[in-house]
Each structure stands twice: as C-alpha cells, then as structure tokens.
Structure 1
Amino acid sequence: MNKKIIIKDYEVVVIGGGMAGVCAAIASARHGAKTALVSNRPVLGGNASSEIRMHICGADYHGFRKNARETGIIEEILLDNKRVNRSNSFSILDTILWEKTKFQENLDLYLNTHITEVIKDKNKITMVSGEQLTTEKVLKLNGKIFIDATGDGTIGYLSGAEYMTGREGKDTFGEKFAPEKEDNHTMGNTLLFTAIDMGKKVDFIKPYWANTYHEKDLAYREHHEINSGYWWIEIGGDDLDVIQDGEEIRDELLKAVYGVWDHIKNSGNHNADNFALDWVGFLPGKRESRRILGDYVLKEQDLFDGKIFEDAIAYGGWPMDMHTVGGIRTRIEPNDFIMMDDLYTIPYRSIYSKNINNLMLAGRDISASHMAFGSTRVMATCAVIGQASGTAAAMCISKQVIPREINKHIHELQQILMKEDCYIPGFKNEDKDDLALFSRVRASSFIKNCEPENIINGYSRTVKDQINAWITDDNDKNPWIELYFDNNISPKEVIIKFDSNLSKEIMVSLTHSVRNRQEEGIPKKIVKDYDIEFYDGEVLISKRGVRDNHRRLSCTKFNNITCNRIRVKPLNTWGSGNMCIYEIRVY
C-alpha cells in the first residue's frame, strides 16, 4: 500500500525543533511569513527538552556576566515557563514550547517528521521531503527560504552546502588556542540522569554491562552533587563519529552512566545510601558536528576582541568551552574554559550559506571556526541567532530577495530585532517610527542616575555602569512617567520593557545548585499591574489597564486615540519595592 503524500506550500520552512528552530519559526511567522516548523522528535526544545534535559546556558555564563542574559523570544518563553512551571519540570517546558508554536498564527508545526531529501533548482532549495513517523505520511514542503536549525547541518549537507567539521589548526585562521594541526575530532555526546532521595537506604545492583570507575578515574570530574547527571559523561568525536556512530555512542554512554552511578552508590564515599536513580536519558545531547560555511567565518580573534560587526544581529559571551577529545575515556581535565573579557557580536554574514542561495542557519551550525563555536554553541546564544534568522527570512519574503541581499537592509533588520527586545551590543534604538524618541519625558520621582529620560536613550538594559532605566524614589507611593509631544499623535501601540533582572538565570535545570540561585516564580522586579493614560492637554481621553503582566516586553495596541501626552502608571511589581522601566516606545 502506498503511503499518503502531503504537499504543502510555505514561504519559510524551518527544519529543527531545538531552541534555535523554535525562535526562528516564531519570529518568521510573527512577521507575516507563512512558516513551517519541522522536527524529527516528539517534543520541541532539542537539548532543553525532556528527552535530554540540559539547562539553557548563554552569554551570562551562569550569572558571571552581569546583565548579559538573552532577551527577545527566548526571554518570553522562559518567563512564560516561570509563570506556570513551579515544579521545574522539563515536560512542562515541552508543553510551553508546543503551545507557543502550535497556536502561533502563520505557523504550522510538524513533529515526528524526519527530512531525508532536499530538492534543488541549481543553487536554490525548492522542496524538502520526509516522513512523519507517527502517521506514515510523506510530507513534501515547498518553500522560498529554508532555515537549517537541525544542529547537525543536515539540510545544508543534503543540499550540497559547503561545510566544516573537526578542528582547524592554528594556521587555518591564525587562532592562538587552536590545535597545532587540523584534525577531524569534535566534542562528544552526553547522557544525563537524575536521582532522588527515597528517605531510606536503597541498594543499587550494578548491571553486568556497566563500566567500572574508581575515584582516580574521576579525579578531574566533580561529582559531589549526586542528584543530577554530569555533562562530562561524554563519549564520541574521536574514533566514534557523533553522527554516523550515534547508536554505538548511546550504548557506550549508558554503560558510562550506570558505571558512574555504581561508583557513587557503592564506593561508600558519596553519602548516597538513600538515593535511587529516577531517570536516565536515552537520547544523547549533541555538542558539535557540521558547521555550514557562510560569507564570514566567526573566529577566536573576534571573540577576544569583543568585536562589534557592522552587520551584527546577535551576541555571545559564554567562554570558549573546549571539551577534551575522548571525554570520559580520558584521565585529564574534561574541558578548558577560555574566557573573553566582554561580549562579542555575531555577524549576519555567518547565518546564511555561502553557496546555497536560499539557505539560512540557526543555532550551532552557523559559520564559525571550531574555537569560536566553543562559545556560540550554547542554547540561549543559539536562540537569539534563531530569532535573527527567522526575522531575516521573513524580510526576504517581503522584499523578494535572497538572504545575502538582506545585507543592504541590515540597519532595518537590526532595528526590528531591537524593537522586539533582542540586544545587539554597540547598537541603539534609532527607529524613525518610534514616536517616543521625539517626545519629552518627566516623572513623579527618580533616583540618581535613573532619570526618566533614560527610557528614550536607545538602550533597553543596563550596559556596564550605565543603568539606562527609570527607577522610582523609595517614597513615591503613586509613581508615573509620561511622554509629552509638541503636536497631537495617534498611537497604535505602546511597547514597554521592564526589569526582569538580567543578571539572574531563569531556566529549568536538573542541577539543584543552579535552581537555588534563581528566584522562585516570576522575577520580582517585573511590573505586574500598570495603567496607560492618554491625555489631550489636561483632559483624560482614554485609559487602558494591564494586569498580571509577567513579561519583560509588554506590548499594548490601541485604536482611535488622538492625544499629546501618554502617562504610564506602574501600580505594583511581583515583589520588589521600586518601579523600574527600561524603555517605552510609541508607534
């Protein structure tokens, strides 16, 4: 019996349902492009899903870099999660990601769908084809722009895109910390686990097939926090290829996980008598495979220089986190953190294919050297790259151009991203459509260096010693801030960016120490309830109340209002005393 063939037409097709693909697809759809999101797994999130359960790291480096957490769609997702996911459940995060994509206008979601074929016309992809494993349907998806968010660069590989793999030598890009000679080694894969305290002694019987580890074998691998698994249980990338040998790597990782747990339980030195394994992953988390070649290769030097590219569309800040070849099979330090002094930007030229004209990139497969990849590969960085890629893809559709030609419109892309709360170091709000930039500002009170004018200075977060926010005085019981205009305006939307404490992590995590650093629930500094009032002179024309806001970026739309003064009255927060607003925009 022939399988049912489904043919669908889209403008943007995103393949890969990790955080990069999710953010790319949402961004594309929100900008009006008819979009498909295709994932070969039953849940979204990639390494952050319940199948793998890795926490979403980023430029803030576990809070080491102050005010560096990624914003935009990834912030929206994680704040939505903080609102409802009090049990720190990865399965609840799965549901949130499903909800964000399933019910997004202009977006069709295809889970359990593995793409196996790419159809091209010369140097352009016209269609991707694959099978939805749960329905036995063959899906053929036509598109104009395709975004490879597979992690492995699978769509790029199948389409004939130029790519890199392995480690470049020092001479390739002149990188100080690169190996002396190039090789085909990559970082390995990892399986995580969780354990729970049963309240009584629980025996563990080691499977006969599990590895045996002594303390000297794990001397360089910290394992005192025994309730969650370890990233350093890592295999592959040496004699085992992380793609071709994936099944064998999974089997070897299972032997390692149960062997490490046997050591923890039965060596008598880890206070683990009452602990039992609760969950062991069966889908390894991948770190590194193919990197698709773009018009620019991001390099180690760019990261050390904190380079601000003219075509910057995202940023990173996680250290160059270079894992030891061989992983847990070695008896040396499992990784080397190479720190940079500051954040760096990621250029637009690194997020589209050099030779496949309508292929864009999102996530860890962007055009970067192995060394630079050591930093860009973490999920929050991948997510903001994804939002930039999806936004640019929708621009390609509206302007009827290929991705490379967006370079002519890079300022427009940057301004769109910043409007939607993506941070691009070195750039500021210069949106000529933002009426707030042409207003004067006053407020009921403020503290030193947190004047009301900060809300229109172009920067919507604290940058080093510049706070860039309006913060009320301690004694102000009825705070307000207002923008007033020389002439009447007809506002259609007011966008406000609040303080969600970008120095603290907010992601789901298996690790107790990571969770203990976080605020419980919604960040306390976010304004919960506020009013927006519209005046013509001293006459109140209209008023809109916003209640139970839990997001940093809050957008409110209006119709049929003419005014010359807009007043925002923050009424309370989720637990902090002072009111804080970073930016107000009016359109």
Structure 2
Amino acid sequence: MEKIIDKTYDFVVVGGGLSGMCASIAAARKGVHTALVHDRPVLGGNASSEIRMHICGANRHGQNPNARETGILEEILLENKRRNPHMVYPIFDMILWEKVRFQENLDLFLNCYANQVEVENDKIRKVTAFQMTSEREYHFYAKLFLDSTGDGSIGEKAGAIYRVGREARSEFGENLAPEEADTATMGNSMMFKARDMEENAPFICPDWANQYTEQDLKNRDHTDATSGYWWNELGGTRYDTIDDAQEINEELLKSLAGLWDHIKNGGDHAADQLELEWVGFLPAKRESRRFVGDYILKQSDIDEKKVFEDAVAYGGWTMDLHTADGLLSADDVPTVWNPVKEWYTVPYRCLYSKNIRNLFLGGRIISCSHVAFSSSRVMGTCAVVGQAVGTAASIAVEKHIDPREVGSYIQLLQRELMKDDCFIPGYCYEDKENFAATAEITASSHEKGCEPRNVMNGYARADQRHTNCWRSKITEGLEPELTLNFNEIKTIHEIRLIFDSNLSKEITPSINKSVLERQDQGSPIELVRDYEIEFLHNGKIRNTLRYKSEGQRLNILCFDEGIKKVDAVRVRILNTYGSKFASVFEVRIY
C-alpha cells in the first residue's frame, strides 16, 4: 500500500486545540475545503481528557457578567451540557471529535505529527506530516495554512518571525514587564483528580517522589485535595518549555507524587478517604513561542479596553503573570492576577504572520507582548480567535487573496462573525439583507425593559444597562408570541434565532469541584427548548413548523426551496429548559 499520500486543500490547519478546531469548522461551514491535522489521538488540547484544564475566558469563572464567549465554542459547550451533564471527560472528547469528523468540507487527521515545512517566495507550499497509527506520510498542499500548534512549530519551521520570553518594560511602556528583557516563560503544569472511596485509602509514596512540607507550600493553596493543582508548574528560566519538555514531564510527575504524599501523609488535610483517580501524564503548557504579526497587542491595549477598527475577537481574563520557575520559586506567590476592566478587543492584524504571507496564527501564539499574552493565552479567547481566523480564511479563498489583504474587507469579516453569533465589543450587528431589520415587530406580551424591538438592536447579549432581548413570561395555556410583519411579500430562505443561554455562568468541563458546583447540570434553564415558526400571508397562517433548540443558543433554520408568499413571520415559544420566562436576543430572516 502507498505510504506517501499527497493531499491538496484550500486551507490546512495544524493543531487541533480549541483554536484550531473552531478555525477549521468555521472555514468548512463557509465552503472552504479544509484539513485539520493534529498530533494527538483526541482533540481539544488543554481542554481534552489528556490534560483536563477547564476553559477559562473573559467571564473569569462567572465574575464578569454576560462575558462568556459565544460562536462555535458556545455551540460545543452547550452540546456537552445537554449530552454530558456529569462532565465525563471521555464523552467530551467524543463530542469534540464528532464536531470535526462529521463536518462537511472538513477532513480530520489525528495522530499526525507535522515535521517538515516547505516554503517558496515567502509562502508555505507544503507541510509534511507522519501519521503514527497508519505509518503514512502525508504531504499537505494548500493556499492557506494556520499554525495553531501551541508551540508554533509550523511557523518556526517556515521561518516566521517570533519572540520568546519577556520584553523590557521600556519597549511597549508596560509597567507589568520586567526592567530588562529576558527569555523567561510561564511553565507547564500537571493536573490530577481524586475520588472519595468512602473508606480509608492509604497512599504509599514512591521513593522517586519529591518531599514537601507546609513551609514549602506556604504560598500555594492546597486546601481542596479533590483536584489540582495549576501551580504544580515548572519551566521558565531553569527549564525551556520546548527543549526540556520531556524532563519537565518527569519532574512534574515527581512533584505531583510528592504533593499527594504531603496531602495524604503530611498532616490533616481531610483526605483520608481520597485516592488518586487520574494523573495527567501530558502536562498543560502555557507559553513558548509568540509570533509577530502586523500589530503586537500590548498591556495598554488591555488597560484602555481598546476597540480596534479591525477588531475580530475579544479577551477579558486577568493578566495572569505566573512566577518564573513555578514550584521552584517557593518563596514567591505562584501568580499575580492583574485586573482587566471587563474586556478588550483583539485586532485582525495580530492573527497572521508578518513575513510568511499565507500563514495565519491561532491560539496562544498570536502576535502580542508577554504581558498581553498573560490574558490572551486562555482557551476561551483562543477559541474565538480561531473562529475569526477560519472566517477570514473563507474570505481569502473566495477573493483569492493572502491573509494580510483580508484586512481590506474587515467590515465583511466582522459582519460574518457577528452573524455567526460571535461577540465583538464596541460593534453591533447590521445587515441590510436581513428582512427583520425593516419589519414591524410586535409581541403578545413582554417584561419591562425587554421590548419586542430589542431583537433587532444589533446586540445579542445583555450589558450593564440593557437586556437587549425580548422576554415574556410563559404561563399555562398562554405561549409568548413574537410577530415580524414585513408589509410586503417575501420568500424566506433562512431564519436565525439567538436564545438566552445565560452568558454570566460557567458551562466548562472541569475536574475542579468548585468550578463544577457553580454550574447547573444539563442545559441552561434559560434556553428555549421547543418553539414554532408560523409563516403568514394577509393574516392567515400558510405554514407552521415546530422545532427543538437541541440545547443551542444559535438556531439556524434553512429552507432550500424557499417559503414563498410570506408577509409576516411569527415565533411562538412553547417551553424552556426550566425558566418561566422565554428570552430571544435576535431574529434574523433572509
């Protein structure tokens, strides 16, 4: 059997963490022939069952109201909430896999390590990858590539400009940066999960484990022994997170075993009945290379909540600057949580290489300073960045242009992202092709401040001053109705509805007890569950279709043949997943 296989695509994504996943799905849904190449057996990167880090983002564990990332990430997490209410990680792996595997226009290559890059005229021509399971060598040819590998291994092999370490305070005027530049990075962490055996569960410490006292851990909270610890971290100055990765793995295993020995045998930690259920042999990596685009995001952009003209994504996690060398710096606190005011935007110019003309940047390697990176690196932000890249790739393919040139179509890119339920702070959604934009909108009833017209104000989430939704109480025998009257005949091909999934709460998988306890099991109760769409002409119902939201916030209803001779559309909410109120943020009709 032939072991060298040539593959040609419009867009090749290397790295199947959340950023690469969202990028590849976004591009494929817009008709781009796409491949996703990933070197692990499961998708999701740090969020997968191999590492089990919860997905942090702008909502900061629910502390920042109405800030949770939407778009494809929200779709994935809501699907997981509906089908995996107990947050079993292998089930989450399966949901991630099916999202990619069964997406039209998207081919998935797992266990496939990209180890060679061929460049011609400042463009990547080919990426070569070896699939360990099949012993096949793939040659991937494409017009466009995305490096979402985390370490930037494709960009590095292609000769893309990148940085490692911390910039001097003077370079960008960042007061959180050190006085002098250095090569220190944040480290890698190894997680664990414990279970309650409901009987005494002794732990016999291996002789290779490290030893720790309460004095050693005085700056590291270990009161919760059920899972942890993010501060079990190594790398920075004594270890290079790429060159020394295997040694870091082994040293982290020694520290984890020693930490567990301290919890079990080093004093009263209320852990007599706990035993280790899982240990993450693949550490979570925070930082290595950061690549340079046409703009470098910096601390002042975050502090000033800057809204860029080419904004395509946003962040809001704290500037979470970890102590160099992690656990080896026992006298220092493990991180300093520098506040972020609500959120900030990420400009499109940070999402492609400055010198490799067909290379997009995704995930934690986007163009930013070390200080800005301390916020933008988290997976929620990486996911929405990925969707922005995938959508930009669709424009580049359609118009036969390079990533940099997509900047000339930035309003189109922003509009497409918001149409797909992505949030860009400072922007509202406007679409002249949307029939609902000029419709007369009425409702059977509404709550104060939740008027029917809100579904067309261009904002698909609440903010500090406005609900931005139509909300009506559901009572027995009285189902809320929203009617859009066009006052002229239309043919309807598509309806998009955005429901309320409570963007102030967490819905991330996690091994952390406190994170899970903050969540409701199953789909958010605010979400509409069942609804009907009525198509009217001269006040008479021509057709009624009933739908289930399947636990999703964004519902897209397509009518390939078109529903003809319609002058009004009525949305009737039948029930929710538990709330007594029906809430709709947007109705878009095409």
TM-score under structure 1 length normalisation = 0.99
- Taking the TM superposition and a 5 Å limit, the aligned residue runs for 1:176-255 are 176-255=175-254
For residues 318 and 472 of structure 1, the distance between their equivalents in structure 2, rounded to whole angstroms, comes to 33
Q: Deviations over 1:376-417 (max 9, x none)?
A: 000011000000001101110011000111111000000000
**Structure-1 residue corresponding to 2:565:** 562
| Counterparts of 2:550 and 2:373, CA distance in 1 | 36
What's the CA shift for 1:547?
2.2
- 2:549–2:555: 8 Å Cα contact kept in structure 1? no
Report deviation, 1:486.
2.3
Q: Which amino acid aligns with 1:479?
A: P
Q: 1: CA distance between counterparts of 2:550 and 2:469?
A: 19
Question: Helix, strand or coil: the match of 2:313?
Answer: strand
Structure 2: stretches of 5+ with no match in the other structure: none
User: Could you tell me which amino acid in structure 2 is paired with residue 580 of structure 1?
Assistant: S
Query: Conserved in 1, the CA contact under 8 Å of 2:344 and 2:425?
Result: yes
Q: What are the Cα deviations for residues 152-175 of structure 1, in whole angstroms up to 9, with x where unaligned?
A: 111111100001110001011111
Q: Distance in 2 between matches of 1:547 and 1:43?
A: 30
**What is the CA–CA distance in structure 1 between the aligned matches of 2:393 and 2:153, rounded to whole Å?**
19
Structure 1 residue 342, shift from structure 2 partner: 2.2
Q: How far off is 1:130 after superposition?
A: 1.4
Equivalent residue, structure 2, for 1:294: 293
| Partner SS, residue 60 of structure 2 | coil
| Counterpart position of 1:14 | 13
Report the CA distance between 1:265 and its aligned residue. Answer: 0.1
**Given that residues 542 and 561 in structure 1 are in contact (C-alpha distance below 8 angstroms), is that contact kept between their aligned partners in structure 2?**
no
Provide the residue aligned with 1:355 in structure 2. 355
1:224, CA displacement in angstroms?
1.0
Aligned-residue offset at 1:115: 0.5
Cα separation, 1, equivalents of 2:66 and 2:455? 17
Shift of 1:86: 2.3
2:374 partner letter: G
**Residues 396 and 402 in structure 1, CA contact (< 8 A), matched pair in contact too:** yes
Relative to structure 1, is the Cα distance of residues 475 and 546 closer, same or farther in structure 2, using a 3 angstrom cutoff?
closer
Equivalences for residues 245-284 of structure 1 within 5 A: 245-284=244-283
Q: How does 1:117-156 map onto structure 2 within 5 Å?
A: 117-156=116-155
Measured in 2, the distance between the counterparts of 1:399 and 1:463 equals 36
Match of 1:570, as an amino acid? I
CA distance in 1, matches of 2:542, 2:53: 50
**Post-superposition CA distance 1:286-326 (Å, at most 9, x none):** 00011110000000000000000000000000000000001
Shift of 1:475: 5.6
Q: Is the 8 A contact 2:496 2:556 kept in 1?
A: yes
Query: One-letter code of the match for 1:471?
Result: R
| SS of match in other structure, 1:215 | coil
Counterparts of 2:112 and 2:579, CA distance in 1:
45
SS of 1:205's partner is coil
In 1, distance between residues paired with 2:272 and 2:458?
A: 56
What is the match of residue 433 of structure 2?
Answer: 433
Verify the 8 A CA contact 2:86 2:521 in the aligned structure 1.
no
Match of 1:370 in 2: 370
Matches within 5 A, 1:376-391: 376-391=376-391
Provide structure 1 residue ranges, at least 5 long, that are not aligned to the other structure: none
Q: How far is 1:3 from its partner?
A: 7.2
SS at match of 1:256: helix
Find the counterpart in structure 2 of residue 525 from structure 1. Answer: 526
Q: Counterpart in 2 of 1:513?
A: 514
**Equivalent position amino acid for 1:73 in 2:** I
Question: How big is the shift at 1:511?
Answer: 0.6
Contact 1:527 1:549 in 2 (8 A): no
In 2, distance between residues paired with 1:68 and 1:213? 39
Q: In 2, distance between residues paired with 1:291 and 1:170? A: 17
Measured after TM superposition, the shift of residue 418 of structure 1 is 0.3
Contact 1:316/1:345 (CA < 8 Å) preserved in 2? yes
Displacement of 1:120 after TM fit?
A: 1.1
Aligned partner letter, 1:549? E
- Alpha-carbon separation, structure 2, partners of 1:555 and 1:548: 10
Normalising by structure 2, report the TM-score: 0.98
Look up the SS of the partner of 2:118 in the other structure: strand
| Equivalent residue number for residue 578 of structure 1 | 581
For 2:475 and 2:522, the matched residues in 1 are separated by 27
**Is 1:540 matched with 2:538?**
no
- Larger CA deviation: 464-473 vs 320-329: 464-473
Three-state SS of the structure 1 residue aligned to 2:12 is strand
SS of aligned partner of 1:425: coil
Structural RMSD (CA): 1.0
Distance apart, 1:474 and its partner CA: 6.3
Corresponding residue of 2:92: 93
Q: Hey, what does 1:392 align to over in structure 2? A: 392
1:35 lines up with 2:34 in the alignment: yes
Residue 553 of structure 1 aligns with an amino acid whose one-letter code is L
Question: 64-73 or 194-203: which moved more?
Answer: 194-203
- Report how many aligned residue pairs link the two structures: 586
**Aligned ranges 1:408-487 → 2 under 5 Å:** 408-473=408-473, 477-487=478-488
CA–CA distance in structure 2, aligned partners of residues 404 and 277 of structure 1: 49
Which of 491-500 and 559-568 deviates more?
559-568
Q: Distance between the aligned counterparts of 1:177 and 1:225, measured in 2?
A: 30
* Letter of the structure 2 residue corresponding to residue 269 of structure 1: D
Does the 8 A contact of 1:52 with 1:281 survive in 2?
yes
Residue pair 1:3, 1:138 contacting (<8 A) in 2 also? no
Contact 2:473 2:580 in 1 (8 A): no
Of all paired residues, the percent bearing the same amino acid is 50
CA distance in 2, matches of 1:561, 1:14: 40
Separation (CA, whole Å) in 2 of partners of 1:421 and 1:29 = 17
Matched-pair contact (CA < 8 Å) for 1:48–1:90: no
SS of residue matched to 2:498: strand
Native 8 Å contact 1:294 1:351 kept in 2: yes
Query: Partners in 2 of 1:473 and 1:53 — Cα distance?
Result: 39
Shift, 1:419, TM fit: 0.5
Determine the C-alpha separation between the residues in 2 that align with 1:507 and 1:420.
Answer: 21
CA contact (8 A) 1:3 1:136 kept: no
Deviation at 1:341, TM superposition (A): 1.6
Q: Which amino acid aligns with 1:409?
A: Y
Q: What is the SS of the residue equivalent to 2:302? A: helix
Please state which structure has a larger fraction of its residues in strand.
Answer: 2
Deviation at 1:508, TM superposition (A): 0.6
Q: CA deviation at 1:487?
A: 1.2
**1:142: how far off?**
0.3
Compute the displacement of 1:268 (Å): 2.4
Partner of 2:319: 320
State the alpha-carbon separation in 2 of the partners of residues 482 and 550 from structure 1.
23
| Structure-2 residue corresponding to 1:344 | 344
- For residues 581 and 270 of structure 2, the distance between their equivalents in structure 1, rounded to whole angstroms, comes to 44
